[in-house]
Amino acid sequence: MPGRPFSEPTATFRFDPDQWLWCLHCHRFFQGREARPDRVGGMQSCAFADCDGAGFGVDLLAWDDWPRQNPDLRASWPVRSDLRTGLVLDPWSADPDETDDDDGAPSPRTPARPAPNRDLHRLDALLGAISLDPVGDLTPFRGLDGPSLAALLDEGFALPDLPYDGGPTATECLAFLRQWPQAWAQGHVVAPTRADYGVVLTGIECSVRRVPRDDRPALRAAFVQRFGLVGALYCDPVELTAWWG
């Protein structure tokens, strides 16, 4: 059966050719005229063939969107007259909090006090089904939903107020999971032999297809706004992932 030619466009979005953009995946700047066709025929993919960034407002942002949202980045962001195609700006290496870690000193953001509840049978009942194989003192898990996180906090298995490795607190993550119940948290349990025993969250992930189509732009905006500057962010048309641990 002859197929329809793939080149027939089903989306007609075009960037302003002079618009400067910045790619969240490869951290490079380029202009709208250099964008490549995306899978549905629009011009919404990163200019660089070795990068899979795609979608305006998803991976491809107006060049000065991020420094507008985070004044701490303004000083390190290039001014418009300095922009050139291929210029790289990695906001995480530009984060002064990150460079502080380069001196080898322990991070002051890592929790050093234990969670109060040491009932490991109960902890296993809450997390066992989504836990992975232990790695040393840590037992990772994925797919933690809002109600389960609320139980871990209520019962004293996680500290509500201490950010882990520069990420949001468990309370802040819970607020996001309650607003977006299609999102899940990931993290690990630190073994009770350690002073920082307890459940630690290290990331949030969300399958976009679980969210009604009309709500997806709001989800992407909320995700980038909440988690865009706390660690690493991966956004593609079907999956949003942020991690900081």
Which residues here bind Zn ion, judged by CB under 5 A?
Answer: 23, 25-26, 46, 51, 53
Measured from the CB of residue 88, what is the shortest distance to Zn ion in angstroms?
A: 10
Nearer to Zn ion, 25 or 122 (CB): 25
Nearer to Zn ion, 58 or 201 (CB): 58
Measured from the CB of residue 43, what is the shortest distance to Zn ion in angstroms?
A: 14
Measured from the CB of residue 48, what is the shortest distance to Zn ion in angstroms?
A: 5
Residue 141 β-bridge partners: 131, 187
Measured from the CB of residue 28, what is the shortest distance to Zn ion in angstroms?
A: 6
Nearer to Zn ion, 58 or 153 (CB): 58
Nearer to Zn ion, 53 or 187 (CB): 53
Measured from the CB of residue 199, what is the shortest distance to Zn ion in angstroms?
A: 35
In whole angstroms, give the CA distance from residue 62 to residue 49: 20
Nearer to Zn ion, 61 or 190 (CB): 61
- Catalogue the long-range contacts made by 78-87 (C-beta closer than 8 Å, 24 or more residues apart): 78/29, 80/20, 83/20, 83/29, 84/29, 85/28, 85/29, 85/30, 85/31, 85/34, 85/47, 86/28, 86/29, 86/30, 86/48, 87/28, 87/29
Nearer to Zn ion, 26 or 224 (CB): 26
Measured from the CB of residue 146, what is the shortest distance to Zn ion in angstroms?
A: 32
